[in-house]
Amino acid sequence: MTAAPVVSFEHVSKSYTVQGRRFDALHDVSLEVPRGQIFGIVGYSGAGKSTLLRTVNALERPTSGRVVVDGREVSALRGKELYAARRRIGMVFQQFNLLSSRTVFGNVAYPLRLSGLSRDETVDRVEELLDFVGLSDKALEHPAKLSGGQKQRVGIARALANRPDVLISDEATSALDPQTTGEVLDLLRRVNDEYGVTILLVTHEMDVIRELADRVAVMQGGEVIETGSVYDLFADPRHPTSKRFVSSVLHHQATPGALDRIREVHTGRIVRLHVEDRESNDPFLSRIARTHGVDFNVVYGGISELQSRLFGDLTVELLGDDVSVDAAIADLRLTTTVTEVAAGA
């Protein structure tokens, strides 16, 4: 993370006064979005995600704090300077925001004509972009004829028209079905890979973060409650809300109800092993079982891979005499995080 960030939020707050009462939509948000990365912001509805995102192109202005994009404080720009800064920032919307009276070609050409490109340059650029998003054959259609996924691909082509440094995306896939969501996420990944565009995306869907993001910030009540690599968030979420988000997509740990049912059948000592970064190839379960003469019975669990690293939880029943089981647990603690989840019946 040595390169200068493309976007920095510095102590950004935004308050609204509704019916005489002040309300903080954003409270002291500080974040840096590294160049070339895909940075996700996740949170429940009302967390302040859209408000924060819209400060990047000054659709919203902070009540206090600064938003710096490419070294310029956009939150202070006005007029022509703001217009020029906005051209460096592409935006993708949940509801696509296409011009229904224009064709696909016309929608993608629109920002180029506004930028003063010649007719020939515009045609070349639009053709290149439609090829990139796989819609060359739809150039003359109107948006009403397109599927949701196709509309969003037009939205992405339009957002890329002026060769932005950063693409901001507000719930770009939230109106799409899972299959189409996958296609749009693949396209966003290509935008990042092939064009080197930094992407700042807002979503309430953890799957989108898992599929696409390098780094992530979790927002709640207008504040950033946790931020870090996507691996760290999924492998070891700290804030209760982050844990809730992670458990919405990963089911590595048994629910209390499932544990109760497991206990009815498995009456030995049950422990949960949290495993991370097991790159050493140490077959620790069988090794420890052999050393201490205990048996392991896996009763629940899951291992996932993210950013080429493994993590997960295994809930195991240990079978053997008390002294051996205690020794095995002590040995497990050297390698993994062990949580005793039930005493034997």
CB of 275 to ligand ADP, least distance (A): 33
Which does residue 48 bind out of ligand ADP, Mg ion, none, counting CB within 5 to 8 angstroms by kind? Answer: ligand ADP
Instruction: Specify the long-range contacts of residues 224-231, CB closer than 8 Å, at least 24 apart.
Output: 224/29, 224/30, 224/31, 227/31, 229/307, 230/40, 230/306, 230/307, 231/306, 231/307, 231/309, 231/311
Closest Cα to residue 186, out of 120, 133, 115?
Answer: 133
Among 19, 45, 280, 281, binds ligand ADP (CB under 6 A): 45
Residues 6+ apart with CB under 8 A from 251: 302
CB of 60 to ligand ADP, least distance (A): 8
- Asked if 46 touches ligand ADP (CB under 6 A), the answer is yes
Among 5, 40, 43, 65, binds ligand ADP (CB under 6 A): 43
**Binding residues for Mg ion restricted to 27-66, rule: CB under 5 A:** 50
CB of 238 to ligand ADP, least distance (A): 20
Residues 6+ apart with CB under 8 A from 322: none
Binding segment for ligand ADP among 47-55, 143-151, 182-190, 318-326 (CB under 6 A)?
47-55
CB of 212 to Mg ion, least distance (A): 17
Q: Is 90 helix (H, G, I), strand (E, B) or coil?
A: strand
CB of 51 to ligand ADP, least distance (A): 3
Quick note: the x/- pattern for ligand ADP over 17-36, rule CB under 6 A, is: -x------x-----------
Residues 6+ apart with CB under 8 A from 278: 284, 310
Q: Which is nearer to ligand ADP, 25 or 342 (CB)?
A: 25
Q: Which is nearer to ligand ADP, 18 or 334 (CB)?
A: 18
Q: Which is nearer to ligand ADP, 43 or 149 (CB)?
A: 43
Cα atoms in the Cβ-side hemisphere of radius 13 Å centred on 212:
31
Bridge-based pairing of strands 198-203 and 38-42 is parallel
316 with 284: CB under 8 angstroms?
no
Q: Which is nearer to Mg ion, 43 or 65 (CB)?
A: 43
CB of 173 to Mg ion, least distance (A): 13
- β-sheet with 198-203: strand ranges across: 89-93, 166-170, 198-203, 38-42, 215-220, 223-229
- Asked if 122 touches Mg ion (CB under 5 A), the answer is no
Which does residue 46 bind out of ligand ADP, Mg ion, none, counting CB within 5 to 8 angstroms by kind? Answer: ligand ADP
> CA-CA distance, 33 to 69, in Å (whole number)?
10
Residues 6+ apart with CB under 8 A from 256: none
- Asked if 48 touches ligand ADP (CB under 6 A), the answer is yes
- Asked if 134 touches ligand ADP (CB under 6 A), the answer is no
Strand partners, 103: none
340 with 268: CB under 8 angstroms?
no
For ligand ADP, the binding residues (CB under 6 A) are 16, 18, 25, 43, 45-51
For Mg ion, the binding residues (CB under 5 A) are 50
